[in-house]
Chain A
Amino acid sequence: MNNKLVTMAPWLAYFLIFGSLVFAGGDHTIHIASQVIILGLFAIAFNVLFGTTGLLSFGQAIFYGLGAYITGMMAKSFGGDFFVWALLIAPVAAITLSVLLGALSLRLSDVYFTMLTLAFAQLVWGICVKWSSFTGGDDGIQAIPKPELLAGGLNYYIFSFIIVTVCIYLLWRLDRSPFGAVLKGIRQNPTRISFIGLNVFRHKLLAYMISSGFTAVAGGLYAGIDKSIHPDMFVWTMSGSIILMTILGGMRSFFGPLIGVAIFILLEDVIGRSTQYWSFVIGAIMITVVLLFPKGVVGISRHFAGLFAKKGGQLDNP
């Protein structure tokens, strides 16, 4: 079996699908595709914590919302040309905040970490809603300006596609790096990690910073899709949806979260048009996948691939 081909196949599919939309997609499709890649980046960045390190953060929406608000508010205050610069400032701000929140929460046991991240997220959401003179409150921010060049839906999709691809590529490198190997080790056996001479907290904190930084980039990009943002981006159900989508797609696979996002958003779009009970349908699908295939959609395809070709090449053999 050709190992190179196996590792590159998902990338090939990624470029074929999201690249071809540049030439073939109508307005609506491009709008959906923009959401998929941006939330896909969010989910893949989230999964650095969840599937890789074994940390369930219920508060990653903080960094998503923060990225969106920094980008939206800066573009609004300083003009459309500032939009792209704000996309660089957003992750820096998110990383700074993540150091603070991480230092407070990452030494705690897993359950307390999850609860504390949830509490932080609700706090930030509360501030965003109440401090309306600064954030626009419940109404959020509308008519966010962008540079001329990024004005149309298609142009903005191409721009997002490039940035998301670079980010996903960096996270893919991380997944296969020595640091990524340490994170997987922390998930499986943190005690052993200490006893091979590594500080668990420091590695978790770095993972948290990286995840939060990329999440803010996703948030910033989102501010440009509809040129409007709202406090719901901070709310815990936002974090919850990302968790669901990640599980749906498969948290043990690098591209699983992106696949989960794509399925989720497509279903929402298709079913949402015919019934108002789409969340019920999604719920039923989720339960089915989780019960029958705890490894997600990627697990399903691996399962059936396994039926045909017993014993596949391992992903990261030496």
Chain B
Amino acid sequence: MTTLELRHVNKHFGGLHVSRDITMGIEQGELTAIIGPNGAGKTTLFNEITGYITPDNGSILFDGVEITGAEPENLVKMGIVRAFQVASLFIDETVYDNIYLAALAFHGKNGNIFTNRQTYKDVAEHCHFILGRLGLSGKENLKAFELSHGDQKVLDIAIALTMKPKLLLLDEPTAGMSPDERVKMTRLIRAIHEEFQLTTVFVEHDMDMVFGIADIIRVLVHGELIAEGNAEEIQKNPAVIEAYLGHEVL
């Protein structure tokens, strides 16, 4: 079954054509990598899929339902959830409270005005599960701004996972991480993908990671989807080598 489908999606920023007639179908349970040079339009594509911006034309379907132009909050409720290239956190709050806020939203407690927010057992359990699963347990009382860059990216993903996504989009999850952290993050993504039965799309520059874990790789250059296939196919694709991979990788 196709979870996410894009049909002839176009987006311009002034004279810049950032999504060029993009058509693709992402199957349920697929772990997809999107690669491409800086400025290729990868983040823009995520912004279109998650409702942050609307494409100029074309359509986007989720589980067969047209979602083009829908608001982010409605897409989150449908199960389309993302983490950001620059971790998007509640920076003055503790790690726990960052996840707690997401869990409150997930459990629909956000409108409760006069109840003490500590009264919800299900919400607290949800938080502790996420904290434990993502290895943040010892750090729950640190403020988000006190975390290392790598842990901030993990927390961003933790917030996303708290929303119980069906489709999870991760924008450069290992950007700025140490080699150690990269390895951990790569394993984590593969593990949660299976454990939570997700359809996962991630943007990544680290080719070891891309070729190591992605089922399908899609290559975006100048807003155009120039290739898609498994690791072997992509590594052999002349257009990809020409436009992006060059010699250093192969």
Q: Which residues of A contact B (CB under 8 A)?
A: 170, 173-174, 176-182, 184-185, 188-189, 191-192, 194-199, 203, 206, 210, 314, 316-318
Contacts and interface: CB of A to CB of B under 8 A. Distances in A.
A37 B124 CA distance: 37
A179 B112 CA distance: 6
9 contacts: A178-B111, A184-B90, A194-B71, A195-B73, A197-B77, A198-B105, A199-B73, A316-B117, A318-B124
Contact of B102 (A170, A196, A318): A196
Given A196-B76, A197-B73, A177 B117 contact: yes
A113 B92 CA distance: 24
A173 B118 CA distance: 12
A195 B91 contact: no
Given A181-B101, A185-B101, 6 more contacts: A178-B109, A180-B117, A192-B88, A192-B90, A206-B111, A318-B100
A181 B104 contact: yes
Contacts, number: 107
Contacts of A173: 113-116
Nearest to B78: A197
Given A194-B72, A196-B163, A317-B141, A182 B101 contact: yes
Nearest to B159: A196
Contacts of B202: none
Nearest to B123: A178
Given A196-B102, A317-B94, A181 B117 contact: yes
B96 interface: yes
B110 A198 contact: yes
Contacts of A195: 50, 72-73, 76, 81-82, 88, 160
Contacts of A203: 110
B22 to A, nearest CB: 22
Interface of B: 50, 52, 71-74, 76-77, 81-82, 88-94, 96-97, 100-102, 104-106, 109-118, 120, 124, 127, 140-141, 159-160, 162-163
Nearest to B127: A318
Nearest to B76: A197
Nearest to B81: A195
Q: Interface majority SS on A: helix, strand, loop or mixed? A: helix
A199 B70 CA distance: 12
A6 to B, nearest CB: 15
B113 to A, nearest CB: 5
Contacts of B114: 170, 173-174, 177
Q: Which of B74, B77, B101, B124 has the most CB of A within 10 A?
A: B101
A206 B112 CA distance: 11
A194 B116 CA distance: 23
A318 B113 contact: no
A210 B114 CA distance: 12
Contacts of A194: 71-73, 76
A205 B192 CA distance: 37
Nearest to A172: B114
A176 B117 CA distance: 6
Contacts of A185: 90, 93, 101
Given A174-B114, A179-B113, A197 B89 contact: no
A197 B52 CA distance: 12
Contacts of A182: 101, 104-105, 110
A203 to B, nearest CB: 7
Contacts of B115: 173, 177-178
Nearest to A173: B114
B64 to A, nearest CB: 21
3 closest cross-chain pairs (CB), A and B: A197-B76, A194-B72, A178-B109
A93 B122 CA distance: 38
A316 B141 CA distance: 10
B81 to A, nearest CB: 7
A192 B156 CA distance: 10
A188 B117 contact: no
B72 A178 contact: no
Contacts of B94: 314, 317
Contact of B92 (A170, A188, A192, A318): A188
Contacts of B159: 192, 196
Contacts of B74: 197
A182 B74 CA distance: 17
Contacts of B112: 177-179
A174 B113 contact: yes
B90, B100, B102 — most chain A CB neighbours (10 Å) = B90
Contacts of B92: 184, 188
A178 B94 CA distance: 15
A60 to B, nearest CB: 19
B141 A314 contact: yes
